[in-house]
Amino acid sequence: SAVISQKPSRDICQRGTSLTIQCQVDSQVTMMFWYRQQPGQSLTLIATANQGSEATYESGFVIDKFPISRPNLTFSTLTVSNMSPEDSSIYLCSVEGQGSYEQYFGPGTRLTVT
């Protein structure tokens, strides 16, 4: 299994500002994933981040709004840029277990934009 931590656990931000969310894994992993969960909704994949390459974004998500860094095999960041109240969500990172098909999720970052 993998243990994932995220920082911050929650934040309240003003519209127009940006927030960078950190995801740290206790083991080296090839692929990391970023999800968004809007209030009362299911999870939606934002992007897939491989170390050493550009992140791959899903339809409806763009790099200018959600830039992602993946500097090494245990860490990634997601930035939510120029925030609006519609960005209020829980943001989760996840990784795939080594040699298995299970995905492990972090505890999430609860973002409220006022």
Partner 1 sequence: DAKTTQPPSMDCAEGRAANLPCNHSTISGNEYVYWYRQIHSQGPQYIIHGLKNNETNEMASLIITEDRKSSTLILPHATLRDTAVYYCIVRGDNNNDMRFGAGTRLTVKP
Q: How far is CA 27 from CA 4, 50, 97, 98, 102, in A?
A: 9, 15, 9, 9, 15
| Binding status of residue 103 toward partner 1 by CB under 8 A | yes
Residues 51-90 that bind partner 1 (CB under 8 A): none
Q: What six digits make up the tokens of 78?
A: 């997601």
| Binding status of residue 42 toward partner 1 by CB under 8 A | yes
Question: From the list 43, 61, 69, 79, which residue makes contact with partner 1 (rule: CB under 8 A)?
Answer: 43
| Binding status of residue 104 toward partner 1 by CB under 8 A | yes
Question: From the list 74, 77, 106, 113, which residue makes contact with partner 1 (rule: CB under 8 A)?
Answer: 106
Nearer to partner 1, 54 or 102 (CB): 102
Residues of this chain that interact with partner 1 (CB under 8 A) are 4, 31, 33, 35, 42-45, 48, 92, 94, 96, 101-108
